[in-house]
Amino acid sequence: MKVTRLTTVLLLALSASACSTLEDVIVPTSEYKNVLDNREAAASQLAQASICCQDFTHLTYTPLPGVYKQLVSIGASSPVFNFTEGRSFFAAYQLPQNSGDLRITLSAQIDKTVFVPRVVMLDAQFRVTRIIDDKIFKYVPAQLLDGDQLQGVFTIDRTMAGNPNNETYMVVYTPENGLNDTTTITHPSKLMAKSLAVVDPGIKDPEIPHSAWGLVKVEVEDLSGNSGEANIYKPAYQDTVDAMVPKVDPAPNKLVVAAPAATAVVASSTAVQTPAAATVMPATPAPTGMAAGGTMLAETEQLYNQLIEKAVSGGDIEKAMQLATEAERAGSATAKATLVNAIKRSQK
């Protein structure tokens, strides 16, 4: 369901059935439920999919501009490659070259499942420069209208123009050997309890299963040559690569940082097909419900307060806490007081 205004969302929520929640309505990823909630279908299609390419030189790379922000749906229409950790659906990009240093932010959206990102960075010769994994990607709890995410931020060096060892390509995938794992997220009631400075309700945090499909927000920012960021790769020039790169004998399905003339990765494949570009979905505009200066519109705040009081009077304290948290993060100055007063009245 596509949402354009927060006030419309709240009016719909007031008339929704008891099984609906505010989260179901306002989360902007709702139109991507097919890739976020079909873990079994994702696993089945991954097992049956043909490998698109023999190595990284044959992937199709989508060019990225210096300023970019898009939601990328990685699903059944995405190509499949055989990485070191196993096969995976993926999205591949060619990074802008005529730019300053680049800050890349990747945010995997968490719903009933999560696509846990891993990134292979390649230079202009398709040699692996680094692997960005769970040491970089961290859990970010829901805030404002953004849901729970796994987010990683890293920097691309562009201070040595024309250097063939500059990072040029980026491949986003998820390790097949981690698809049976889960990621723990914080229960919203705990966040609310912390904001109210009350006792932790002791509710168990949800365990979100990993999936071969998912939704990733890709953001690129041109830093205009200002380096010094964390997680930055500093490339060497061609005449120093031999001294820097370890000589490792190639092995099937293993990542090898090789000498300049060698291909970085050789992945086993029984068939070579024409690579398909990763599906890039248009960004979904966020709902609006704020006046100038970041404060919430009076009508929006009133509707939130009505929802909170209705939830408390119906005995659904957890839902009321979630609503109050959402309202406060969106700019409400009265949601917390409305919740506290409603609870006090219910106890009389």
Per-residue pLDDT tens for 113-139? 999 999 999 999 999 999 999 999 999
| pLDDT for res 236 | 58
| pLDDT for res 234 | 61
The token pair at 24 is 């179901």
CA–CA separation, 3 and 10 (whole Å)? 11
Check: CB of residue 235 under 8 Å from CB of residue 167: yes
Q: Which of 96, 114, 153 is nearest to 29 (CA)?
A: 114
Provide the residue-wise pLDDT of the chain in tens; the chain has 348 residues. Answer: 333 333 333 333 333 333 333 333 344 567 888 899 999 999 999 999 999 999 999 999 999 988 889 999 999 999 999 999 999 999 999 999 888 889 999 999 999 999 999 999 999 999 999 999 999 999 999 876 778 999 999 999 887 666 777 899 999 999 999 999 999 998 888 877 777 777 777 889 999 999 999 999 999 999 874 444 456 666 655 544 444 444 444 444 444 444 443 343 334 333 334 444 444 444 444 444 555 445 678 888 888 889 888 888 888 887 888 888 888 878 888 988 898 888 888 776
CA–CA separation, 51 and 90 (whole Å)? 11
| pLDDT for res 161 | 60
The DSSP symbol for 76 reads T
Residue positions counted in the chain: 348
CA distances 146 to 133, 217, 300, Å, are 22, 11, 18
| pLDDT for res 262 | 38
Q: Which of 133, 114, 130 is nearest to 122 (CA)?
A: 130
Under DSSP, is residue 236 helix (H, G, I), strand (E, B) or coil?
Answer: coil
The token pair at 106 is 């990747």
CA–CA separation, 271 and 133 (whole Å)? 28
Give residue 189's identity as a one-letter amino acid code: S
| pLDDT for res 71 | 92
Under DSSP, is residue 184 helix (H, G, I), strand (E, B) or coil?
Answer: strand
